Structure 1
Amino acid sequence: MDQSTQQNAAMVEQSTAAAATLSAEASRLRDLVNQFTLDRDAGHVAEPRRNVRTMAA
């Protein structure tokens, strides 16, 4: 393989890895955003659902 072909192959691999990372991040962001619900009648944002345990003081 000549140098240009090798560079193109490397860029394709990097692009593929970046696309996979972006897809995973988008999925995680979707999950985070889905924790919020809208109260359509009141016109304001409802409190998020919390899955956090509180620590004893």
Structure 2
Amino acid sequence: MDASKIAEMDELIRRMRQCAEELKEKDNGIQAVERNVDRILANIKMLELNISDVKELV
């Protein structure tokens, strides 16, 4: 896979994490939002393991 594509995906993943964390800060105690953001962050972590962490190897 092209290293530039991996770098682009890494940046998108970083932005997704920032957005999810910002949303979590503004959940105003709404449990549904809090739980869903936690799930989103777990999925982002999987993306980080798959893409961001191997970026160094490419």
Under TM normalisation by the shorter chain, which class is it? 0.3 to 0.5
With a CA cutoff of 8 Å and minimum separation of 6, indicate the structure with the bigger relative contact order.
Answer: 2
Larger radius of gyration: 1
> Normalized against structure 1, the TM-score is what?
0.47
